[in-house]
């Protein structure tokens, strides 16, 4: 079959899935599950894939809701992975639109699989739990990478609904730090002098970090919440805890900020006489290093659907897809959802369960499938992407050696 016919066939196959995809995206939206608890979402997506002859491995890399799907199970050619996310935000449901992400990747893979026997190679869907970093051990992709789940993958794509249409771009690194202060309880009115106030440790940490803000580089983000502030106003708080996210442009500056923020908490512990315990609560999210060859493939296919890039992503957000871009050639597609609305808001939550949201999801599925098709079909394209990736890897390792 000639190339243009193949492309038309992929689009026709994805269009045939529209109603089913919409039903899956709706169901995931209406039963939001936070990271590592996405049992229903993962069941729906795996079921969709299995029904369409994909071989699905569930419960992988020590995560019950992670999965790896492949069609065919084995092939001589390369493996192109489409990544699925399907976790919700605590308290805000699918305010990041991950119901559309998981379903788009699955729909794209199934649509493409219908023409795949005519190609050499394999299409994979990686089910990646817990992208939202607010929960313990978040960063499903980081854990998949650590367990070797990406070692047979030659290139990876993901789609995300976004405030503008874009390919690639930049994200920041991210680490979650938790500070647990321990003091001594006492009657807050009767004998407060016998108490050691753990909450004061937390409050002074916030104040010290706020003082630090004037002396940090542009683009660094430090934001936190109090996760425990005591048990009753008439007891001097024995225990108090806070969680912070630290985000910077690169790993080197992240390490620097970690030290400074830790020093704020240590100072607070000294001032209050409390004991301090410091933990990291999520995996380190690396910044995104988009592959420019894959970015241009995504852009070409966007244009083929009558869409165009509206701007470059240079957000202060972070994603564990950044870690994926460090181990395989990879690129993210962002498609505009709504007009001037941003993820993690009620407006975005509603848009992710609207006709417009489902339309964007279908467009995302088509661009992903056509781009995977390009890599499997066009001679030399994947090699070009890999060559650029190896160049970046080499450049990174000499940089690290120099810094040692």
Note the residues at the interface with Zn ion (CB under 5 A). 96
Q: Which two tokens stand for residue 316?
A: 């202060």
Nearer to Zn ion, 187 or 344 (CB): 344
Nearer to Zn ion, 96 or 126 (CB): 96
Output Rg (C-alpha) for the chain, integer angstroms: 23
Nearer to Zn ion, 114 or 143 (CB): 143
Nearer to Zn ion, 115 or 331 (CB): 331
Q: Strand order of the sheet with strand 63-71?
A: 55-60, 63-71, 122-127, 79-84, 155-162, 330-336, 166-167
CB of 131 to Zn ion, least distance (A): 6
Residue pair 161/352 in contact (Cβ under 8 Å)? The answer is yes
CB of 96 to Zn ion, least distance (A): 3
3 state SS for 136-202: CCECHHHHHHHCCCCCCCCEEEEEEEECCCEECCECCEEEEEEEEEECECCECCCCHHHCECHHHHH
Nearer to Zn ion, 96 or 361 (CB): 96
Nearer to Zn ion, 348 or 377 (CB): 348
Helix/strand/coil for 346: helix
CB of 132 to Zn ion, least distance (A): 5
Nearer to Zn ion, 269 or 298 (CB): 298
CB of 80 to Zn ion, least distance (A): 22
CB of 87 to Zn ion, least distance (A): 9
Helix axes 355-377, 292-304, angle to 10 degrees: 120
Fill in the DSSP letter of residue 327.
T
CB of 56 to Zn ion, least distance (A): 23
CB of 345 to Zn ion, least distance (A): 11
- Calpha distance 378→309 (Å, rounded): 23
Phi-psi region of 207 (alpha: psi -120 to 50; beta: other; left: phi over 0): alpha
CB of 78 to Zn ion, least distance (A): 27
- Calpha distance 385→296 (Å, rounded): 10
For the chain, count helices (H), then strands (E).
Answer: 12, 11
**In 3D, which of 133, 127, 157 has the Cα closest to residue 335?**
157
CB of 90 to Zn ion, least distance (A): 11
Distances (CA, A) of 119 to 50, 112, 372: 21, 10, 11
Report the residue number whose CB is nearest to Zn ion: 96
CB of 177 to Zn ion, least distance (A): 19
Distances (CA, A) of 312 to 53, 166, 393: 37, 6, 23
Q: Strand order of the sheet with strand 221-228?
A: 221-228, 239-248, 173-182, 275-280
Nearer to Zn ion, 79 or 171 (CB): 171
Nearer to Zn ion, 49 or 96 (CB): 96
Nearer to Zn ion, 96 or 295 (CB): 96
- Calpha distance 381→255 (Å, rounded): 36
Phi-psi region of 179 (alpha: psi -120 to 50; beta: other; left: phi over 0): beta
Beta-carbon contacts of 305 under 8 Å, excluding residues fewer than 6 positions away, are 363, 366, 367
């Amino acid at each position: 079959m000639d190339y243009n016919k193949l492309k038309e066939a992929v689009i026709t196959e994805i269009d045939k899935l529209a109603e089913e995809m919409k039903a899956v995206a709706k169901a995931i939206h209406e039963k939001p599950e936070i990271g590592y608890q996405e049992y229903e979402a993962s069941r729906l997506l795996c079921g969709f894939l299995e029904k369409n002859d994909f071989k699905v491995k569930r419960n992988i890399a020590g995560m019950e809701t992670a999965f790896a799907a492949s069609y065919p199970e084995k092939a001589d050619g390369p493996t192109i992975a489409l990544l699925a996310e399907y976790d919700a935000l605590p308290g805000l449901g699918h305010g990041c639109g991950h119901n559309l992400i998981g379903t788009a990747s699955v729909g794209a893979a199934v649509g493409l699989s219908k023409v795949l026997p005519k190609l050499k190679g394999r299409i994979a869907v990686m089910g990646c739990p817990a992208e939202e970093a607010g929960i313990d051990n978040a960063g499903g992709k980081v854990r998949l990478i650590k367990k070797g789940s990406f070692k047979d993958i030659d290139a990876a794509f993901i789609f995300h609904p976004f405030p503008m249409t874009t390919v690639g771009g930049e994200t920041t690194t991210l680490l979650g730090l938790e500070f647990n202060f321990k003091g001594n309880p006492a009657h807050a009115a009767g004998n407060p002098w016998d108490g050691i106030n753990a909450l004061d440790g937390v409050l002074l940490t916030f104040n010290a970090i706020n003082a630090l803000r004037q002396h940090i580089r542009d683009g660094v983000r430090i934001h936190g919440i109090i996760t425990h502030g005591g048990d009753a106003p008439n007891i001097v708080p024995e225990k108090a805890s806070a969680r912070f996210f630290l985000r910077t442009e690169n790993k080197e500056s992240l390490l620097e900020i970690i030290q400074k923020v830790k020093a704020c908490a240590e100072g607070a512990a000294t001032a209050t006489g409390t004991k301090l315990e410091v933990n990291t609560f999520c995996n380190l999210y690396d910044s995104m290093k988009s592959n420019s060859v894959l970015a241009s493939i995504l852009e070409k296919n966007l244009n083929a659907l009558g869409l165009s890039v509206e701007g470059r992503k240079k957000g202060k957000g972070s994603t564990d897809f950044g870690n994926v871009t460090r181990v395989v050639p990879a690129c993210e597609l962002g498609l505009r959802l709504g007009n001037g609305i941003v993820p993690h808001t009620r407006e975005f939550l509603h848009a992710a369960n609207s006709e417009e949201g489902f339309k964007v999801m279908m467009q995302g599925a088509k661009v992903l499938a056509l781009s995977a098709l390009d890599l499997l079909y066009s001679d030399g394209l994947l090699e070009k992407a890999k060559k650029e990736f190896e160049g970046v890897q080499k450049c990174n390792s000499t940089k690290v050696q120099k810094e040692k």
